[in-house]
Each structure stands twice: as structure tokens, then as C-alpha cells.
Amino acid sequence: MRILVMTKPVPDPAANAERLGPNLRLDRAASPTVVNGNDEYGLEAALQLVERLGGEVAILTMAPTTGIETMRKALAMGATRGVLVADAALPGADIPTTIRVLASAAATQEFDLLLGGLDTSDGAGGAVTAGVAARLGLPLVSAAALIEPDEASRAVRVRRLSAKGYDVLEAPMPAVISCTQALGTPRYPTLKGIMSARSRQITTLSLADLGEELLPPDGQWPSRVLEVQPPPGRAAGRTITGAAADAAREIADFLADRRLI
């Protein structure tokens, strides 16, 4: 089983230091970075599959070369090697460009499964993994909660989260799967994993190495960020007082009105 996992370095949500720099681009120096959460769930699932079935987990990242530090965290969890697409022309790349570049880089690798996060915690476009599948002409199974490949039949069965539970879908391999938190808690890297990750191979590819003209001819990305607004602050909460039974009824009505229960 060969599994390629797309992992993106994103600002560490725990650091609460994410901010924008010039041109409404993420200021990557402002915050420590971690592997995007949904990517990490996919990586954990991939590592468990390979532990059971044999094979290798490789990671694919498009990031500035500073992204290597975050890739090492993914390698420390147990991935065998990494592929980094880094190019001075790429910072600020929009979603279609990111899809083209990652699809092109993935095509240089052999894999049975290509995993990516359902979305990322920084850009949150939620289109890249699906876009890469489309670009590669491979089947996509989205919002995975469980991944069960069957090497004999060359098919993968996936529990896809739905509004009411999950659907079970099957796709021929190679296939692309977008990953969610429902796959399970990522492992902590072991100290030996951290040490050995320092010597694992990370291949760096430039756009020229990918052998394709991936940049727009006029230097303009097809889509641009025009404006960024912080989410509105939370409104003050409402306190319900009174006898316990009445208060409970009022809370239940409140939730039922909003179809939350």
C-alpha cells in the first residue's frame, strides 16, 4: 500500500498569532506552524493502514522552504519521505493554481491512495483535495470517517460523513480521499521518530522541475483576495434564571426552536 498524504503547514491555532501581511497574504513569520488538522487526521489514518498492510506513507507539501520544519513533524509521526514543492513564484497562489501544482507534483509519485484534508484551518477554501482528484482524473471520496482499502480487489471503501450519519462508498484505486477529524486522534511523535525524521529524505521540486507552465501568463492569479474581515464578535449570552424545571423547559424550547435538539 503506497499512500501519499498532502500536508499543509498552517499557523498553529493554539498560538492565536495568525495575522495577515502585505497584499492580504498570510504572514507566515508571525506564527509557529503546525500540520493542518484535517491533513494530520489523514496522515494518522495512512500510518495505521501501512502498519497493518505494509507499504509506505509519503507526504506532499506545497509551501515555502521554511515549510520543511513542519514537514519534519509529519515525518516524525512515521512518514517515510517527503516531497516539497517550493518556488519563489508560488507565494499567494490561488486555489486553482494550488490544485494544478499539487496535481502535477502528485503525478510524479506512485500511490494507491492520495489523502488530503477536507479543508485547511487557514485558507479554508475546501476545494484543493477535490480539485486535485478532478485534475488527475481520479475518483474522489470526500469527508472520510473510515478508510478501508482492499488490495485484492484494488478498491477502497470509505465511510463518508453525511448530515445524518455516514454513507459507505467504494472507489477503484488509485483514489483520492478528503479527510476529517472523524478518522481519529493523531499520534504524538516518539522521540526516536523526531530524531530519525531529521535524516529522512525530503525532495524539493520547483515549478521548472514539474516541467509544466503552471503560472498564469500575465503573472496575475485568476482569483485575488480583495478584502478580509474578522468574524463578528460573539453576542452577549442570555442567562436563564428561575426554578430549575422552568429554566430547563425554557432552555429546551430555545434549542428546539433552532432545531438543535
When binding is defined by CB under 8 A, the residue of 164, 192, 234, 259 that contacts other proteins is 192
Assess 15 for contact with other proteins (CB under 8 A): yes
Assess 20 for contact with other proteins (CB under 8 A): no
When binding is defined by CB under 8 A, the residue of 20, 168, 195, 240 that contacts other proteins is 195
When binding is defined by CB under 8 A, the residue of 106, 189, 207, 210 that contacts other proteins is 189
Assess 194 for contact with other proteins (CB under 8 A): yes
For the CA atoms of the chain, what is the radius of gyration?
21
Least distance to other proteins, CB of residue 19, Å: 12
Q: Which stretch binds other proteins (CB under 8 A): 19-27, 92-100, 121-129, 192-200?
A: 192-200
Q: Based on CB atoms, which residue is closest to other proteins, 32 or 216?
A: 32
Residues 21-80 that bind other proteins (CB under 8 A): 31-32
Residues 196-235 that bind other proteins (CB under 8 A): 198
User: In the structure grid, which three cell numbers stand for residue 67, read together?
Assistant: 515549510
Q: Based on CB atoms, which residue is closest to other proteins, 76 or 106?
A: 76
Residues at the interface with other proteins (CB under 8 A):
12, 14-17, 31-32, 188-195, 198
